[in-house]
Chain A
């Protein structure tokens, strides 16, 4: 029997994060130093924090208010980089691509050049000209409505 799949709006934050982690681990080329959920680092509350050998990844779910929050904390993000002497990368997880406002997303970047990118579901993209940012389009479905 085929799986019964949940609709997109039933996805929880945890599901998106685990989907990202599954994909991330496949391509991982560094040691994981630390991994924590709901961590406050330098005044920034992150749903998932990954301290890797060469970089720190702060993982967020894409939402309008997340962008506002991150934009208001850009200085704190820069300070993490200075304090930890590692690159800091913001990972935005998105399940619905049509929600994505790329212009607003790019405000998070150092560079203001708007690249010509199109991101579809199931893709993980680093935005060119913006090495601090990676957008992860949700790859799969979590089984939450189960078969009887």
Chain B
């Protein structure tokens, strides 16, 4: 006991308790605070375009989706009563056609795998609607999603609208919680960036058909260097809308729920894909000059979001290894006195409390009201996975961002 007290006193005296990278936590919380600040003036469109003034086509690209989820998806779309539902699929299952036709959808069965981009283009060309509502084949709309998502199109400058995606749990709790926190956090981000979104998430999105037709050529021949981009369709659609001077807006009242990833590994795969497309399009935006024309809050978000993992890595290196830093002294202390369990446990305790507090404060700053109860253990697990699995993966994604041109996953959703 006395020995532990002596250790604690030593740590207090030399400041070795600063194991937690406080500078990173401050940076992280400051970013959340600013995003919340930028989002304060956001209001969803309460009036706008109505169904009697425009035709709406719902386009659903399908490949390898669970039939049960696909049926729930298309049933929910049919309940929204669009003028037309188009399912574009290039897998070989007759059941997909049967389900789609049961709910009055037009089915386009493609003879070759053309990828999600190709499937979308075929859907747009065939559509009769002035507004195309696009959703993933695992997304379930609420009853008024379409009526809500078309409202912003009363403004002729609006080319694309982001609905509000949330998740429903399919299997693993951790990928579900992680995904849900990301979606709820994105709600704040897109409120802040309303008008110039960084990405209109393909889970639930709507576009003016004339805009989609206008950019088919660019969309279908989207390249990065010599590589042809076949995924990141939602990033591309947002990029070209911003490039062409259109507005990309958020309609928080157009809610839809998508299937959470089944396993943490699949969730990681999805995050890797998103991170790669994030870095790739950031470079594209910089090269084309678009990045520098966007509002300051857009640039702030992109840089702090995509470079946070690097910032954390630097903070960690600085905290643990840079000579002269108090924690680095503790390593020398450990090296001198050997493997000291009380110090390690104490440091771990400080780390866990710091992590918990940072996450909790972040939730409060963003005013996240998640539908699920998140325990202390959940927060710690998510925090540790975020810092030590997702963040390194982001760094890996930045290094291999050109890999976004590769096809990953067994379905359009990976």
Contacts and interface: CB of A to CB of B under 8 A. Distances in A.
Contact of A22 (B92, B94, B112, B214): B112
B220 interface: yes
A28 B109 contact: no
Contacts of B216: 25, 28, 31-32
A35 B94 contact: no
A28 B217 contact: yes
B125 interface: yes
Contacts of B108: 14, 18
B213 A143 contact: no
A121 B216 CA distance: 26
A75 interface: no
B122 interface: yes
B92 A146 contact: yes
B111 A25 contact: no
A74 interface: no
Interface in B106-128: 108-112, 114, 118, 121-122, 124-126, 128
Contacts, number: 69
A30 interface: yes
A3 B92 contact: yes
B93 interface: yes
A28 to B, nearest CB: 5
A25 B110 contact: no
Contacts of B109: 142-144
A140 B111 contact: yes
Find the residue from A3, A26, A143, A148 having the highest chain B CB count within 10 A.
Answer: A143
B112 A29 contact: no
Contact of A18 (B93, B126, B128, B217): B126
A59 B93 CA distance: 30
B413 interface: no
Nearest to B88: A18
A21 interface: yes
A25 B94 contact: no
Interface string B216-230: 110011000000000
Contacts of B111: 15, 19, 139-143
A25 B215 CA distance: 11
Interface of A: 1, 3, 14-15, 18-19, 21-22, 25-26, 28-37, 139-144, 146-148
21 contacts: A1-B92, A14-B108, A18-B108, A21-B121, A22-B112, A25-B118, A25-B121, A28-B221, A29-B217, A30-B217, A31-B213, A31-B217, A32-B213, A34-B213, A37-B126, A37-B128, A141-B111, A142-B111, A146-B92, A146-B94, A147-B93
